[in-house]
Structure 1
Amino acid sequence: MPRFLCRQCGARFPDAPTPPPGCPICLDERQYVRWGGQDWLTPDELAADHHIVCAPDHGVLGLRIQPAFAIDQRALLVEAQEGNLLWDCIGLVTQAALDTIRARGKIIGIAISHPHYYTAMAEWAQALDVPVHLHADDRAWVTEPDPAIRHWDGEALKLGPSLTLLRCGGHFAGATVLHHAAGVGALYTGDVLQVTADRRHVSVLYSYPNMIPVNAATIRRIAAILEPYAFDKVYGAFEGRVIAGGAKAALERSFERYLAAIA
């Protein structure tokens, strides 16, 4: 029996003779159902005409499906002294991509910012033989359960001396960012904090496609969570969406601008 992927968002579901009646990720108000109606494909169908491009982006290896598929986010390989971490996830697994990741050194796990990027996490975890770290507040959004998934509680999870997951909330209850403390520090945000087109700011929305903002209390909470951490770069969910310097000040400006706009 095949596993089915939602063509609109990339969510993947367990083996079944037929696809689900609908994708819960797309039916939620943060996403949307494909304009032509719910549509599915199998991993083999995706692999038949898509591949993974592995390319550096401001010093970090990114993995992206091409031609673009679903939301078109990329995964990032965060290379740390304690071992490498695959940040966020994509819906296709290939041997070439696995070989590229393994060639960079030991991988200690996968961590994902929020449910829109869960997609083929179970297959990635099995292929790399590592756990997947997800915040427990988003447990209900897992569409393909797997023993490799580890749900963590609380506001922060240390994965090693330099790697810390931080629950920011906002986009989802368990929306998470990753802080890497090496060098000047970097923050990996998916689109929990969306790097804007000018690459000098971020924004925070409950829904990006439906343009639903978060409130002032949420912005202040996120700012307070990030304040103790040093970082000079922010890596967003999409290729090229990187604040390459002065990122700490850029986030402070962004939060001030957001609060002024909704006041």
Structure 2
Amino acid sequence: MSLSNFICSTCGVQYEASEVPPLLCPICNDDRQYIGFGGQSWTTLQNINRQHKNIIEKIAPDVYAIYSTPAFGINQRAHLIRTPGGNILWDCITNLDPSTIEIIHSLGGIKAIAISHPHYYSSIVEWSHAFKARVFIHANDEKWLGRRDETIELWQGNEKLLWDEIRLVCCGGHFPGASILYLPRDKGSIFSGDTIQVAPNLKTVSFMYSYPNMIPLPAKSILQIQDSIIDLEYDAIYGAFGLYIRQNAKQAVIYSLERYLQILKGSNY
């Protein structure tokens, strides 16, 4: 019997090669996620390639959103950020095919892949091999890795400096190692995944332990997020699922933090 790197159909995370799929996806069998309504199911990258295509959409100067159509997994969205020191893939989607590889190489390839939290682990090993890229994941979330590889670097502490003053900042909250990417150029930008989730009104943000199961974070976690980003200067924030605040983002985050803390204190906000 041949080995396959099975992929959870619900969250899109790929696991170590095996003859048969795992019994459960640990990431989905967790309060922050969920097992699909039809029960645990598995697929492979080859099957995904046949059923899905990727969109690479320019959303800002030197910033491209990458997502699959029709939607797969939790409808993950990655971002390719072009910088003078090399390109960064922020977060990751599961589908990777020859067309995607060719287009990204035409944009300068990928020097590093940085992941906000385990819901974006996707097929990171496939992507790292295709582009000869390092993968940066916070060590606090190591136990959630479905597939390990020598290209994965587990960083520790509060910050990880990459290049051109670009850095990863561990905020915690959603996961112990949940992180954001800070890009200082122009007026500054944060790429937050859903560590800091942009709300549909595009004016505020939210912070949750579980988004699909609607479990809030305690005040201690909100204060940790606040302390981790308070000194960053930024005007834009690029959240998950195509939700972005393009101007005055820092003011929106500060307002949202204060509102959240007031509610937790029992204020009649």
Normalised to the residue count of structure 2, the TM-score between the two structures is: 0.95
Out of 155, 169, 173, which is 1:166 matched to?
169
Report deviation, 1:147.
Answer: 1.0
**Which residue is equivalent to 1:201?**
204
**Which residue is equivalent to 1:48?**
50
Q: Which moved more, 1:104-113 or 1:142-151?
A: 104-113
* 1:188 maps to 2:201: no
| Residues paired across the two proteins, number | 262
Superposition pairs of residues 1-263 of structure 1, within 5 angstroms: 1-59=3-61, 60-105=63-108, 107-239=110-242, 241-263=243-265
Cα distance in 2 for partners of 1:159, 1:97 equals: 24
Question: Gaps spanning 5+ residues in structure 1: where?
Answer: none
Cα distance in 2 for partners of 1:258, 1:157 equals: 28
Cα distance in 1 for partners of 2:216, 2:227 equals: 19
The AA in structure 2 aligned to 1:181 is: P
Q: Please, what is the CA RMSD of the aligned residues?
A: 1.0
* 8 A Cα contact 2:174 2:208, kept in partner: yes
Report deviation, 1:230.
Answer: 0.8
Q: Runs in 1 of length 4+ with deviation above 6 angstroms? A: none
* 8 A Cα contact 2:109 2:131, kept in partner: no
* 8 A Cα contact 1:80 1:162, kept in partner: no
| Identity over aligned pairs, percent | 39
Report deviation, 1:107.
Answer: 2.8
**Post-superposition CA distance 1:173-205 (Å, at most 9, x none):** 000100001111100000011100001111000
Cα distance in 2 for partners of 1:198, 1:255 equals: 16
Cα distance in 1 for partners of 2:259, 2:233 equals: 21
Report deviation, 1:106.
Answer: 5.0
**Post-superposition CA distance 1:88-124 (Å, at most 9, x none):** 0000111211222222225320000000100100000
Shift in alpha-carbon separation, 1:52–1:106, aligned structure 2, 3 A: closer
Cα distance in 2 for partners of 1:24, 1:93 equals: 23
The AA in structure 2 aligned to 1:177 is: I
Q: Which moved more, 1:46-55 or 1:100-109?
A: 100-109
